[in-house]
Structure 1
Amino acid sequence: MNSLRIIGGEWRRRVLRFPDSPGLRPTPDRVRETLFNWLGQDLAGLSCLDLFAGSGALGFEAASRGAARVVMVDDSPRVLAAIEANARILEADERLEIVRSDALRFVNSAGSHFDVLFLDPPFHSGWIDRLAPMIAGVVAEDGVIYAEAERALVGCGSWRTVRQGRAGKVFYHLMRRGKADGTE
């Protein structure tokens, strides 16, 4: 069993456990800190979609920082069982919705828009390119996308990278609809 700690908000310093799973790379503390500096430390009232939830690091971090609704999607029963166990430990059930689904199927049937999309799919699988044409169906007009990839990204669908960084082999990006490219 692996572990990570929540770095901010209500559950700061709480440790979460998650299983080994192919392609699972929890977002490192330093990168999460940068991300939540970009987004703002207080996510009160926002809705977030963690489309490839994996360890749950991004979704739990958003909930810890006051997000009103966090939907965590993954298709691995083992991974989802760990996310559900962590949600029970944190007593986070009312803010979290945990969904077993393939990312494409979920995006096609979501029926609601989110303020923040966390998009951290397994690398070298083409997920971001496959999802790009459908992103507008789940991200609010003024919503943002946080994406991790094996390469630098110009954007995803109508969203363009406005901030980016690199940690080891991981390129991370903050995207806004129709904005110009920038670096961080």
Structure 2
Amino acid sequence: MRVIAGEARGRRLEALPGTDITRPTLDQVKEAMFSIVQFDLPGARVLDLFAGSGQLGIEALSRGAARCVFLDQNREAAAVVMRNCKACGLFDRSRVSVGEAARWLSACREQFDLVLLDPPFHQGMLEEILPAVEKVVAPGGIVLCESEAKLILPAEVGSLVLRKQYRYGRVLLWRYTKPRPGEAEGGDSV
């Protein structure tokens, strides 16, 4: 597992052993995710929810995001995120928190321009957490979700509108946006 592009390009990232704790995003899928948001990254405030090793948030920081909050409920995973951020020279733009996602989101008072969601597959977490994510997305913000290919998510979740769905083998990427005030809410074809 490595950083693909930007200031930390080529850096190897530590991962927690065992796929029962984390499931790293494949490089092909990660490259696709960041191609989708490449013009939205510079200066962005990013939330990496279900951070695991932190590879998605670190990739965002490496490509120009202003800062990233990493959240994982596993203390060992959070420690790995901290080590990875330090090793990549990105720790000063990072904040690592340990906690359960829904509880953390309900207490959060920050707004984010990009939210990266990569929860464990086949556990129903994405469907449960999307409504709570909506309130922390800034107007004009983007939510990128990674899921198993069989999952079906709604076209709208509160003010979040599904703009596009991308398939990469057994993985789906979902791109939701939160319209700015006065912006049309219709999504692209899916």
Query: What TM-score does the superposition give when structure 2 sets the normalisation length?
Result: 0.87
- Give the Å deviation of 1:11: 0.7
Amino acid at match of 1:180: G
Structure 2 residue ranges without an equivalent (≥5)? 179-184
SS at match of 2:123: coil
**Deviation string for 1:88-129 (max 9, x for gaps)?**
212212111000011011111111110000011112222222
* Paired position in structure 1 for 2:2: 5
What's the secondary structure of 2:91's corresponding residue?
Answer: coil
State how far apart, in whole Å, the 2-side matches of 1:37 and 1:107 are: 27
Partner of 2:13: 16
Whether the 8 Å CA contact 2:51–2:70 is kept in 1: the answer is yes
Aligned length: 180
Is 2:164–2:187's contact at 8 Å kept on the other side of the alignment? no
Taking structure 1 as reference, are residues 37 and 168 closer, same or farther at Cα in structure 2, changes over 3 Å only?
same
**Which structure shows the higher strand fraction?**
1
Structure 2 matches for 1:19-38, cutoff 5 A?
Answer: 19-21=16-18, 22=20, 24-38=22-36
Q: SS in structure 2 opposite 1:148? A: strand
Query: CA-atom RMSD, angstroms?
Result: 1.8
Q: Partner amino acid for 1:153?
A: L
1:55 positional shift: 2.0
Q: Structure 1 residues 169 and 110 mapped into 2: Cα distance closer, same or farther (>3 Å)? A: same
Distance, in Å, in 2 between the alignment partners of 1:169 and 1:156 is 23
Q: 2:49: which partner in 1?
A: 51
Partner of 2:90, secondary structure, is coil
Give, in whole Å, the separation in 1 of the partners of 2:104 and 2:23.
21
Q: Give the match's secondary structure for 2:30.
A: helix
1:47-67 CA-to-partner distances (Å, cap 9, x unmatched) read 000011012111000010111
Q: What residue is the counterpart of 1:171 in the other structure?
A: 172
- Structure 1 unaligned blocks of 5 or more: none
Larger mean Cα displacement after TM superposition, 17-26 or 101-110: 17-26
Cross-structure match for 2:82: 84
What is the match of residue 145 of structure 2?
147
- In 2, distance between residues paired with 1:155 and 1:54? 27
Q: Report percent identity of matched pairs.
A: 36
CA–CA distance in structure 1, aligned partners of residues 188 and 154 of structure 2: 7
